[in-house]
Amino acid sequence: MVLDLNVIQIILILIIAFIAGMEGILDQFHFHQPIIACTLIGLVTGQLVPALILGGTLQLIALGWANIGAAVAPDAALASVASAIILVLSGQGEAGVSSAIAIAVPLAVAGLLLTIIVRTITTGIVHIMDSAAEEGNIRKIEMWQMIAVSLQGLRIAIPAGLILAIGAGPVRGLLEAMPSWLTDGLAIGGGMVVAVGYAMVINMMATREVWPFFAIGFVLATVSEITLIGLGVIGLSLALIYIALSKKGDSGGGNGGNFGDPLGDIIDNY
């Protein structure tokens, strides 16, 4: 059964897609996160429960997606919006969640191409804003800033509109028709860039104070029995221990030794 949407529902979906695209850059209200984007689309289409299940499952997958250094993460916003729309249009309800999840991952990788295109365009916009700054034209700077952010919204809204126009079936067929060399190449290239980004961050953090924490986290991450929640609790506990030891160092006065907050000294040096 294919679900038909009315005009109001289509408009609301496009608005959600536009906001999710902008939030992928702004990160203020996190509308690009799967649990929020999918839930909102499910809410406006009357498919709240299936969309909520889809969003929660995708959120667990997207926990490891992050822009770090030069690394550009897979597009969680496009994956969330597009897979939720396909799930709703299919009319399968909770039975179609697994198929939507399978589609979401290649959509996220394909979204990297759109991200690269938009960021290339916004690079030119930055130069225009530099010229406006030299002229002292604040209004022009604000206008181009809004245009650049709107491009990020259109990056998700346009694909969402195309999916709504042509239906879920052709989109699924198009993704399945993508050659393996293209999808594998995007995945390998994205992985290499992520490795470079992590290396840049680790290089910035390479100090005697933080290396022990990195080593502990690296070893714990290899233990398959520890869940992400468990790792988070361990990380929070280590942070609290570190803060407690730093405060004890502050109370030591001027009797010599390593007093104060070493993390604060690191930040001051940078």
DSSP state of 32: T
Give which of 13, 26, 33 is closest to 151, Cα–Cα.
26
Mean pLDDT of 97-124: 80
- Please state the domain extents for the chain: 7-194, 207-269
Mean pLDDT of 179-190: 65
pLDDT-derived band at 112, boundaries 50, 70, 90: confident
What pLDDT, on a 0 to 100 scale, did the predictor assign at position 208?
Answer: 72
What pLDDT, on a 0 to 100 scale, did the predictor assign at position 176?
Answer: 64
The alpha carbon dihedral of 227, 229, 235, 237 has a sign of negative
pLDDT-derived band at 70, boundaries 50, 70, 90: low
What pLDDT, on a 0 to 100 scale, did the predictor assign at position 241?
Answer: 83
Mean pLDDT of 154-179: 78
* pLDDT above 70 coverage of the chain, percent: 74
What pLDDT, on a 0 to 100 scale, did the predictor assign at position 4?
Answer: 72
Mean pLDDT of 3-7: 77
Extract the tokens encoding 13. 């979906």
Mean pLDDT of 174-182: 68
C-alpha R_g of the chain: 23
Residue 39 pLDDT exceeds 90: yes
pLDDT digits (tens, 9 = 90+) for 209-268: 777 887 888 888 788 788 878 888 888 888 888 787 777 655 444 444 444 555 556 556
Give which of 110, 123, 120 is closest to 156, Cα–Cα.
110
Residue 72 pLDDT exceeds 80: no
What pLDDT, on a 0 to 100 scale, did the predictor assign at position 264?
Answer: 57
Whole-prediction pTM value?
0.63
Q: For the chain, where are the alpha helices, taking DSSP H only?
A: 7-26, 34-45, 48-62, 76-90, 97-135, 138-166, 168-177, 180-205, 211-221, 228-250, 262-269
Residue 192 pLDDT exceeds 90: no
Residue 174 pLDDT exceeds 70: no
Give which of 20, 139, 25, 8 is closest to 84, Cα–Cα.
20
